[in-house]
Every structure is written in structure tokens, then in C-alpha cells.
Amino acid sequence: MTALIFLIFAAIAVFCAISLVVQTHPVSSALSLIGVMGSLAVLYLLLGGEFIAAAQLIVYAGAIMVLFVFVIMLLNAGAETPTFQTSSFVKYLGIVLLVAFLGLISFIIQATLPKTEGVIFGNFQGTAADVGLKLFTSYLLPFEVTSVLILIALVGAIVLARKEI
């Protein structure tokens, strides 16, 4: 059952990722990226990452993608027009080489990884309580530094998007 759910959502993720790369209109790419993030959230849940699955949906698919779609709408971005003509031979050669490259990487991972018992749903639960406990004890300093980073990003975004520049 776990393998079936994994295969379904992995297929959705790969399909949406290919769609992201192939689509010429930015809005279609953004919707494909939301599909990738949603299926990845399911896979996180399968791996026992409750908190991270929720954060993926809320922060990534919610906040960040809304920001992207908002900017696409604001700039009225249309479909991409090809600036230079590539021959169809080069295009198909590129696709074949990309598939061969990804196949090679998959083979290397499959061959070098030591055999383990595999992922079964429910064997490990990284609950929000566990994550919070670790975040506020072992990782307290990175957490505080992150808040400074967010503040800098906030100020930077406001300064960059001012009218005068």
C-alpha cells in the first residue's frame, strides 16, 4: 500500500516537474510547481514528517506560490517567445541526453546505497512536538539567526521595490 501511494505521487511529482520545464506560460509553470509541492507533501507524510508536510503546504504552496502568482499577474507576464531558433535535432538530442543522465544517476544511487529495510508508514513519526523540542533546544541559535535573516529580507524587499529606484 505504501509503495502504491509512493508510486502514484512520485509519478504526479515528476509529471508536474516536466510540465514546469516544458510550459511556456509562467502561470502554467506556477500551477505545475504547486502540483509538485502538493505531492511532495504527501511523500513527507509517508516518511513520517507531519510537521514538515504541513509547513510545505502552508509556507511553500501557500505563501511563496501566492507571491509568485501575484508577481506574474502584476507584471502581466505572457508566454515566452523563443529568441533564437534551435534545430529539432539539437532539441531531441538534449532530451535523450537528459534522460540518459538521470538514468545514470538513478543507477548509481541504486547500486551504491546499502540495502536497508525500506520505508514503512508509521515506523517513524516526527511529530510537531519532537520537532519543536529539538528546534528550541539544540537548534536555538540557528532559529534566532533565521529571524534576523527574515528581517533583512523584509527590509531588502521593501527597499528594492520602492518607487525611486
Partner 1 sequence: MPNAVPLSWYLILSAILFGLGVAGFIFRRNIITVFMSIELMLNAVNLTFVTFSYQFRQVDGHIYSFFVMVVAAAEAAVGLAIILTVFKNRKTLMIDDVNSMKY
Binding mask 29-48 for partner 1 (x = CB under 8 A): xx--x--xx--x--xx-xxx
DSSP code for 33: H
- What does the alpha-carbon distance between residue 147 and residue 73 come to, in Å, rounded to a whole number? 29
Size of the site for partner 1 (CB under 8 A): 81
- What does the alpha-carbon distance between residue 36 and residue 60 come to, in Å, rounded to a whole number? 11
Q: What one-letter code names the amino acid at 87?
A: S
- What does the alpha-carbon distance between residue 64 and residue 71 come to, in Å, rounded to a whole number? 11
Q: How far is CA 84 from CA 80, 81, 87, 137, in A?
A: 12, 9, 10, 54
Question: Contacts with partner 1 in 103-162 (CB under 8 A)?
Answer: 105-106, 109-110, 113, 116-120, 123-124, 126, 130-131, 134-135, 138-139, 142, 146, 149-150, 152-154, 156-158, 160-161
Closest distance between partner 1 and the C-beta of residue 145, in Å?
Answer: 10
Q: Which of 82, 90, 122, 141 binds partner 1 (CB under 8 A)?
A: 82
Q: Which of 8, 67, 73, 93 binds partner 1 (CB under 8 A)?
A: 67
